[in-house]
Amino acid sequence: MTGRPMLALVAHDAKKDAMVDFALRNHDKLKPYGLVATGTTGQRISERCPTLDITPLKSGPLGGDQQIGAMIAEGALNGLIFFIDPLSPMPHDVDVKALMRLAVVYDLPMALNLTTAEILLRSARLRGLESTSTIPEISVSKL
């Protein structure tokens, strides 16, 4: 990983065009980030935005959501932008829920739709300029 702020980008199939449009429109704002993305999402963005630094992970249904969840648990991400499709059943729904759950557990800035993503990308907190440690360390003994 880089020393730059890290952002994960994920989009379900029905939202991939919206994610590519978002990346094109916000290219200059995304440029300073180290980006990770689930497989197909990363591929689609890279095709249109080849100068963005995107590390592709596995495709979501094959473990990509879980890889991003692990990065959250390890404190390796500053934010998650996840354009979910709320109208289609997903074979890997448990992985999607697990990813969102970890983002909440670790109080990670997370946008699940376009409007929130636009707001999040303008946030100093996302760029690591403000503290991200607003929650106390979670004690395993309390779980």
d(CA 24, CA 1): 23
Size of the site for ligand 13P (CB under 6 A): 13
* Alpha carbon distance 93, 115 (integer Å): 23
Smallest distance, ligand 13P to C-beta of residue 23, A: 13
Q: Which residue is listed with tokens 């759950």? A: 101
40: annotated binding-site residue? Answer: yes
Q: Which one of residues 6, 12, 80, 102 is an interface residue with ligand 13P (CB under 6 A)?
A: 12
State whether the Cα torsion 35-38-39-41 is positive or negative: negative
CA 52 to chain centre: 15
**Residues from 92 through 121 that contact ligand 13P (CB under 6 A):** 92, 96
**CA quadruple 81, 53, 34, 100: dihedral, nearest 10:** 20
Q: Tell me: does residue 10 bind ligand 13P (CB under 6 A).
A: yes
Site string for ligand 13P, 45-84 (x = CB under 6 A): --------------xxx--xx-------------------
Residues 6+ apart with CB under 8 A from 6: 33, 34, 35, 36, 71, 76, 77, 78, 79
Residue 143 C-beta: closest distance to ligand 13P, Å = 25
Residue 65 annotated in active site: yes
Q: Catalytic pick from 65, 93, 95, 107?
A: 65
Q: Which of the residues are catalytic?
A: 65
Which stretches of the chain bind ligand 13P, using CB under 6 A? 10, 12, 38-41, 59-61, 64-65, 92, 96
